[in-house]
Amino acid sequence: MSKSSTEAKIAAARDAVEKAAALLLDHAEGVGMLAMMARHAEPPGPATVSFEDAGQATIRNRPAEQAFWQAAVAAATFAGRFETFREARDSFWPTNREAALRDAVERLVGPGGGFPPPLESVPEKIGVSRFGLTPARVHAQAWRSHLAASASKATMARVV
């Protein structure tokens, strides 16, 4: 028996959500930095004219800039919420590797999903070689966990 049109659409949408989250989480460090920049972006105002060093006038579209920053924060929140889901799902029966990765992340940024340091300053010993966990892998997971922690602190409508 084939799926109904509605079931097929829901399955396709679920797949799209997972793919979008995976793409954003593959870029967790950049997404997190964009969200941080958005918190410090200039407040919206009317379109203004500014002059660059070469003397050329540029018209800034502040409402468009604000919309972009809001989208960046929404993307970071979405990625963080999906990481929260993934961590909850995977923590039900964690493998030794997943437990070692979680412990390494906590040693790097603390238990609250703190702001990760630059990769260059992550100590080599933070990795767990027997599980193939490199400092780069721990750093990447620290950013994912940071997005999850940040998303849980964000004000969101409750979905029940």
- In the chain, the amino acid numbered 145 is S
Q: What is the mean pLDDT of each run of 10 residues along the chain (160 residues)?
A: 83 96 95 88 60 66 83 94 92 89 92 88 84 92 93 56
User: What is the model's pLDDT at position 26?
Assistant: 95
Q: Is the pTM of this model over 0.85?
A: no
Residue 91 to residues 97, 98, 148, 150: CA-CA distances in angstroms? 11, 8, 14, 19
What is the 8-class DSSP label of residue 127?
S
User: What is the model's pLDDT at position 124?
Assistant: 86
Domain map (residue ranges) of the chain = 5-153
User: What is the model's pLDDT at position 49?
Assistant: 56
